[in-house]
Amino acid sequence: MKLPAVYILASNRIGTLYVGVTSDLVQRVWQHREHLAAGFTDKHNITQLVYYELHSSMEDAIRREKQIKKWRREWKLRLIEESNPYWLDLWNNITSG
């Protein structure tokens, strides 16, 4: 998926969330999963892709990322659960044809 994307990773359902933006969702999530992205996600073992949305431009994706980052945790949980009520790891969704 080479479209700009906003994504949310989680350590688990009641754990820590991370909101990010990328121009290559598969590569970036893989980096998080393999602990190649040193920093917050690595420190807190945040590797499960629980939400993502694609955008037509990086500007739109960055704007959306900033919006979501300002949200209260409850709003982020609601956003995730609208499309992923069982908190499945969506890694296979983005890597399978």
Dump pLDDT digits (tens) for 32-62. Answer: 999 998 899 999 999 999 999 999 999 999 9
Query: Whole-prediction pTM value?
Result: 0.95
Q: Phi/psi at 81 (nearest 5 deg)?
A: -70, -20
Beta carbons of 22 and 8 less than 8 angstroms apart? no
Domains of the chain from N-terminus onward: 5-95 (3.40.1440.10)
Provide long-range contacts, Cβ within 8 A and 24+ apart, for 61-67: 61/4, 61/5, 61/6, 61/21, 62/4, 62/21, 64/6, 64/21, 65/6, 65/19, 65/20, 65/21
**Share of residues in the chain with pLDDT > 70 (%):** 98
- Which residues are CB-contacts of 92 (< 8 A; sequence separation ≥ 6)? none
